Structure 1
């Protein structure tokens, strides 16, 4: 039996305050629904809580993500939080790329990858816990997995399933799994300051520059001011 590493949690994430409640629910129920807004920390902290609850010792904790880039980046983040001594316990598997080993205890993958695994392992014997993240997206893969897992639970009483979702559809997920318990986690908000820059015009009232020019100008000004942080620019079309 694999030993559970010492686990630390970022105290600023809302989900951390519900750690004991979540661990208790996972221990006592086969299915738990986690309703949490963006920024609650559910994606990165739930796999660690599963380890603390004693999961992932003989088999893996599997975590699905809707997109490949999410599976890769979240795996890297969780490995970083576990520290150098335990980072090897985290791996990911996407199409054409398998970064797992015999030591892997937390495995991130796309929902499509887990769905593909049902073809070779009908009972998904490699996992003792499965986290279906961002289930509110309701893709074909996610809906199929949720239906498949309900049937699988009848044959695998040892399996734990955690469904995470935004605050929508949680009651439907709970009803689907025979009134599974719902734990609600608040999101994390940030102070936002809105500034409006009017369009520059000439004497005749014609616009002298485009919104792309304005965005570039704003970025250059921010860089010149040496303000720390990141810059995210939204453009109206993909071509821009």
Structure 2
């Protein structure tokens, strides 16, 4: 009896030894196949992009994306690059621009207002009409007023919409066609030495808090590149023709929020 029991146990041990050996061989083969498959699968190269401001290259997942452009940091997103464009704006280049006179850097910031059609700035379509106007794409048949202005060639460096969106049309290094016949403290042709911003609105309504916030950020960023800027309204430099930004633009609020010295607002802080 003992003899048969030992024989049975021995047979069982042999069976499990052979089974384990076969499993180990199978696992080794599977591991080899997995390594071979990995070797055959090409590794996708890491996509690199370039910071619009400083031109450094960085992995795309690490970049800040704005308006289909890439930035390496929030600081560079809010900095004017060497070409005079700020990252934190939608870029919609206007053909209505040209070079500034030689050796002239801007030292004046002019505030305007605009609504297309007049008084209808509360419509989201107004912002697009302004963009179309500055890009010479305004549909003259879309509104009777548009037929009167469709052939005009004008632009501004910036537009701030009612929602506080910042749009840039012209590099600050170049001359936008926003001031027209104008004079600032005895200096004619203000387009030559100024930067213009249009606030979406009219002279009969207050501007939005979002617009003041966007304007403050813009001015503070501009002053890093142009520390000698002075500030005026369109009505200050063309008083016989223009009334913008109008009596509802709060100059005291503007001065307080931007931290600009009152001396840099030579026409005063009284709304006009």
User: TM-score, with normalisation over the residues of structure 1?
Assistant: 0.30
Structure with the greater relative contact order (CA < 8 A, sep ≥ 6): 1 or 2? 1
User: TM-score, with normalisation over the residues of structure 2?
Assistant: 0.27
Q: Which has the larger radius of gyration?
A: 2
